[in-house]
Structure 1
Amino acid sequence: MDIRRDFDRHSFGVRWTGQRLDDSHAQPSFRTPVSSTLARDDGFNVAQASWDWSVTPALYLDARVGLARATLRGLFQETGAVTQSGIDLFTQFRSGMSPFEEESTRTRVSTAVHLGYTGRRSQMMLGIDASRGYTRSSFHAIDDVGLRFLPSDLEANPLFRAPVVASSVVQYNTPVSPRQTVRQIAFFAQHVWRPKDYLSLRYGLRVDSSVGWLPSQSSPAGAFAGARSFPARKDLISWLDAEPRIAIAFSPFSERKTVFRAGFNILQHDLIGRYLDFGNPNSLSGTEWRWEDANRDGQYQAGEAGRVLRAFGGNVTEIDPDLKRPYTREIVIGAERELPLRLVLRADFFRRDEKDRLETVNVGVPFSSYTPVVILDPGGDYVAGTDDDQEIQVYNQNPLTLGKDRFLLTNPGLTAFNKGLEMALSYQSGTRVGLALLFSAYMTRVQTNPGNTEYDSDQGIVGELLDNPNSLVGTYGRQYFDRSYTARLFGFFRLPRNWTVSTVTRYYDGLPFARKLAITDFNQGPFYVNAAPRGNPGGHRTEFNLTADVRIKKGLNWRGREVNLVLDVFNLLNNSNKTVENDLTGPLFLLRLPVEFQPPRIARFGVELRY
């Protein structure tokens, strides 16, 4: 809903948008049965009020205030048999209930005031942006445990549910109800100056102050944790940083149809509430033990916990008091050229370097607590004695250090970079026809957590990397979102009688993934290492992804109001390319067995009413 009132030199506006999502079986798959899913009931609401004031023809003021609120709720399925949640560590098949029942409320209040001045050859803007975010969550697990299994036969087809044996049990501190608060205030100034018709300079500075703290909070007693209450912890993370930026555009030729551009930016990363969990003893935590399933019923009972393996979570983690904000340094060089036939060609080269990345370091169990062991990797063909065999050095933990984990969230010196080329060829004929062809070539080089999912292969996720030396084996290379080469074709066509056709066709290279090698007989319990890099060179990608989407819209007039009938068709060609493939080393690896496909063709009909 959008309400706006315009006056001579003022305008006021109010906007609200809301969304409700009810999903009785969220994200089931062939590895996740319906009983292991959550019944989701999520709500999203955003409200904003704005005021624009033209003080003079050259001076204007823009003020806004907003409220965003998300209420997320995921409940266990109502089944006859309530069983503990379990997962096969290597094949990812789930059993029992969902790992956690969860509720979360996330609220963000924001305001912004911008003042702008436009002169004959310059434009200036000053402003302040401020926001405060509140997060309140709760987690509960069946019997406050999570079960870990191993396949009985590691050479069996990993895409079929097979017999498993008990491996370990995680005892959680649930039920637990963490809370976080984040405040951000930023001041900025920007100046655009055109000293000559062929030259434009843009430079500015943004100063960002971000503070995160923990309000007082408590959690009730569970099976492995008593009732807890914690006082507030002020200024747990406090950052004050500057973002300078400068850009130049230069058109050296008299016809002004060619423009060369260059720019440099420093982009400070946002402070997110998840970072505060690393200093919150009231956040989700646990201890993992060897599981001696004496009666072999696949459910944990008291007395079946064997030797301790590891501890994790806010109970055993602190935040470095000198923690620095991560930032990205960006350089862009490009050019744009107007061509005949209303065509415009644009190309940009870029490089982005990430510095001061955040990661946890296991100060309780340092790397010196591990003994290097060289093992034979039979390669992708899983046949010993062939050309793809290799020796990999992995690390066995000293049993005297098991369970002594203590983590520190810090800046351990990790970096990352990505670089590439983006090109665009566009055509537009008034408001009736528009076409754009976009191409990109992209490459990342980064060390991330072991694994191939979006929660592993992403430098923005603070996870297992640096917690033990095995996390460094084969984890440098491309990341999850690196699709190497992409192409997109956009088009819209306004036809007679108020018909509009819009199309989007996309091509992406496949998902980069590493071949995983299972290790089962070490002191710290079973784990895997990346036996090959993600993507090229030397690694693997899934099949390419090609999809075409179409929208057909018919405009009508009903009682003096504009009505649009809309038909959307997604994946028009009904392609079924593999988007995820089996990544476990074994006799079936070279078959490239599919784990996930593109979604099938979907049609959606809608009605838009404007008033």
Structure 2
Amino acid sequence: MSYDLTGSGRTAIKGSFGGYSDDFTEFFLQRFGALNLITTTWRWHDLNGDKRYGPGEVNLDPNGTDFLSVSGGNQAPSSFKLPYTYEATAALEHQIGSSMAVRALYVYTTTKDELEMINPLRPYSAFNIPIVRQDPGPDGVLGTAADGGPVTLYDYDPAYRGSKFVSNQWGNRNGAHNDHHHSLEIGLTKRSTGWLSGQTMFLATKHHRWITGYPQSPNDLNFPIDDTWEISYRAAGYATGPHRFTASAVFSVLNGAPGQRTYLFRNLAQLGTLTVPMEPFGARRGPIRSDLDLRVAKAFVFERGPRFDVSLDLFNALNSNAAWATTYQSGPTFGYATTIASPRVARFGVAFSF
């Protein structure tokens, strides 16, 4: 929907609303197939201390005391709803002069009936054994100045041990656990009316995303929401020069990638191990990420003949090595960057057309 606000043809209000279901493809249906790879995990007892598996060191009874977990072989749920995404937009656009325009755009997105993997045979009430452990802090070592406070974990009742209490199913979240996002974009665009064109924009998104949207135990209630802001700025320009020379640049800046510290608790009677968030998502952030890509090109055009385009690209011209992903699990690798920007790369190209 679009409406000319002033009647001058220079200012417009636009709006839209849409609802979209998940793609119902064979990949979607694979989530509900029982004929998949099944992986079972048991507790191993190194009885002779040789650090090698030997017969009799694991009780391989799927309902025995050494059984820990099983994955794969998903079961179809008794009831199922197709997830939907709803999106509403509102925009104000205004023309400045003959070749420039400014725009403000708001986008609201929400999801409904999102799917999560659950185990309906081991109910929430089965996790009735509270265990108090000490948070060792980021270094993962107890007894240091970095130690945090006590943390209450919940193991499940031994009566629910074994594979007969495991059924991997995809279940729909309830309405209280829908994700939603608010986004704002403010941009300025210059159309090509000579030798220069470009655009610049500021974008901000406020997330409300459930990290665990289908709680199956009290352990899932520890900092389960992502309420972070995602902020970025982008600018792009394109210029044409004499003798068929062209130049372009794209620059972007993003705030640091968010994260949260976690700790892997061990030696739980039934669960074996449990990873628990120790702080809200977004309490940790990586460095600001920036990127600048440059390109210059020259076209050689022959009368009634072929055309050659020679170009030189410089990717990540600032040679930024900012981290895009960081591990925040307490321990010796806490704070290690696992993904960084690619290094500066130059590329020379020749294109031929006829």
Same fold flag (TM > 0.5): yes
1:504 equivalent in alignment to 2:250: yes
CA contact (8 A) 1:421 1:440 kept: yes
Q: Shift of residue 468 of structure 1? A: 4.6
- Cα distance in 1, alignment partners of residues 331 and 193 from structure 2: 58
1:485 equivalent in alignment to 2:219: no
Q: Shift of residue 398 of structure 1? A: 2.3
Name which of 541, 562, 573 aligns with 2:318: 573
1:268 equivalent in alignment to 2:60: no
- Which amino acid is the alignment partner of residue 317 of structure 2? L
CA offsets 1:174-210 (integer angstroms, 9 cap, x no match): xxxxxxxxxxxxxxxxxxxxxxxxxxxxxxxxxxxxx
Aligned residue in 2 for 1:395: 154
Q: Shift of residue 587 of structure 1? A: 8.0
- CA gap of 1:606–1:299, structure 2 versus 1, over 3 A, is farther
- Cα distance in 2, alignment partners of residues 391 and 399 from structure 1: 24
- Which amino acid is the alignment partner of residue 135 of structure 2? D
CA offsets 1:466-494 (integer angstroms, 9 cap, x no match): 4554344222114xxx7611011111112
Aligned residue in 1 for 2:70: 311
- Cα distance in 2, alignment partners of residues 525 and 597 from structure 1: 33
1:412 equivalent in alignment to 2:173: yes
Q: Shift of residue 299 of structure 1? A: 5.5
CA offsets 1:373-393 (integer angstroms, 9 cap, x no match): 344435558787989944443
- CA gap of 1:262–1:323, structure 2 versus 1, over 3 A, is same
- Cα distance in 2, alignment partners of residues 532 and 435 from structure 1: 42
Secondary structure at the aligned position of 2:30 is classed as: helix
- CA gap of 1:274–1:519, structure 2 versus 1, over 3 A, is farther
- Cα distance in 2, alignment partners of residues 551 and 321 from structure 1: 56
1:528 equivalent in alignment to 2:275: yes
1:518 equivalent in alignment to 2:264: yes
- CA gap of 1:433–1:294, structure 2 versus 1, over 3 A, is farther
- Cα distance in 1, alignment partners of residues 110 and 144 from structure 2: 41
1:353 equivalent in alignment to 2:110: yes
Name which of 4, 7, 11 aligns with 1:258: 11
Aligned residue in 1 for 2:63: none
Aligned residue in 2 for 1:140: none
TM-score computed with the length of structure 1 as normaliser: 0.51
Q: Which runs of 5+ in 2 are unaligned?
A: 60-65
- Which amino acid is the alignment partner of residue 254 of structure 2? Y
- Cα distance in 2, alignment partners of residues 602 and 301 from structure 1: 51
- Which amino acid is the alignment partner of residue 437 of structure 1? T
Secondary structure at the aligned position of 1:520 is classed as: strand
Secondary structure at the aligned position of 2:159 is classed as: helix
Q: Shift of residue 561 of structure 1? A: 1.8
- Cα distance in 2, alignment partners of residues 586 and 471 from structure 1: 22
- Cα distance in 2, alignment partners of residues 503 and 273 from structure 1: 41
- Cα distance in 2, alignment partners of residues 474 and 350 from structure 1: 26
Aligned residue in 1 for 2:223: 474
CA offsets 1:159-187 (integer angstroms, 9 cap, x no match): xxxxxxxxxxxxxxxxxxxxxxxxxxxxx
- Cα distance in 2, alignment partners of residues 434 and 409 from structure 1: 49
Q: Shift of residue 340 of structure 1? A: 3.5
1:599 equivalent in alignment to 2:345: no
- CA gap of 1:288–1:609, structure 2 versus 1, over 3 A, is same
Secondary structure at the aligned position of 1:318 is classed as: coil
- Cα distance in 1, alignment partners of residues 297 and 16 from structure 2: 40
Name which of 185, 206, 214 aligns with 1:443: 206
- Cα distance in 1, alignment partners of residues 329 and 294 from structure 2: 37
- Cα distance in 2, alignment partners of residues 334 and 563 from structure 1: 42
- Which amino acid is the alignment partner of residue 158 of structure 2? P
Correspondences of 1:330-409 after superposition (within 5 Å): 330-340=87-97, 342-370=99-127, 371-377=129-135, 379=137, 389-403=148-162, 404-409=165-170
Secondary structure at the aligned position of 1:400 is classed as: helix
Secondary structure at the aligned position of 1:497 is classed as: helix
Aligned residue in 2 for 1:82: none
Higher strand share: 1
Name which of 268, 271, 285 aligns with 1:541: 285
TM-score computed with the length of structure 2 as normaliser: 0.85
- Cα distance in 2, alignment partners of residues 421 and 300 from structure 1: 57
Q: CA RMSD in A?
A: 2.8
Counting matched residue pairs gives 340
- CA gap of 1:311–1:431, structure 2 versus 1, over 3 A, is farther
Aligned residue in 2 for 1:66: none
Aligned residue in 1 for 2:35: 282
Aligned residue in 2 for 1:65: none
CA contact (8 A) 1:421 1:441 kept: yes
Name which of 83, 91, 97 aligns with 1:326: 83
CA contact (8 A) 1:534 1:541 kept: no
- CA gap of 1:277–1:429, structure 2 versus 1, over 3 A, is closer
Point out the more displaced range, 399-408 or 439-448.
399-408
CA contact (8 A) 1:258 1:335 kept: yes
- Which amino acid is the alignment partner of residue 402 of structure 1? R
Q: Shift of residue 542 of structure 1? A: 0.8
- Cα distance in 1, alignment partners of residues 51 and 336 from structure 2: 29
- Cα distance in 1, alignment partners of residues 196 and 110 from structure 2: 38
Point out the more displaced range, 509-518 or 275-284.
275-284
- Cα distance in 1, alignment partners of residues 38 and 256 from structure 2: 35
CA offsets 1:249-308 (integer angstroms, 9 cap, x no match): 111213221111222211222124344233323212211111234566666455443411
- Cα distance in 1, alignment partners of residues 56 and 247 from structure 2: 66
Q: Looking at both structures, which has the greater relative contact order when contacts are Cα pairs under 8 Å and sequence separation is at least 6?
A: 2
CA contact (8 A) 1:359 1:466 kept: no
Q: Shift of residue 355 of structure 1? A: 0.4
Secondary structure at the aligned position of 1:278 is classed as: helix
Aligned residue in 2 for 1:428: 191
Aligned residue in 2 for 1:175: none
Identity of aligned residues (%): 26
Q: Shift of residue 599 of structure 1? A: 1.5
CA contact (8 A) 1:515 1:584 kept: yes
Q: Which runs of 5+ in 1 are unaligned?
A: 1-247, 450-458, 460-464
- Cα distance in 2, alignment partners of residues 261 and 375 from structure 1: 55
- Which amino acid is the alignment partner of residue 332 of structure 1? T
Q: Shift of residue 566 of structure 1? A: 2.5
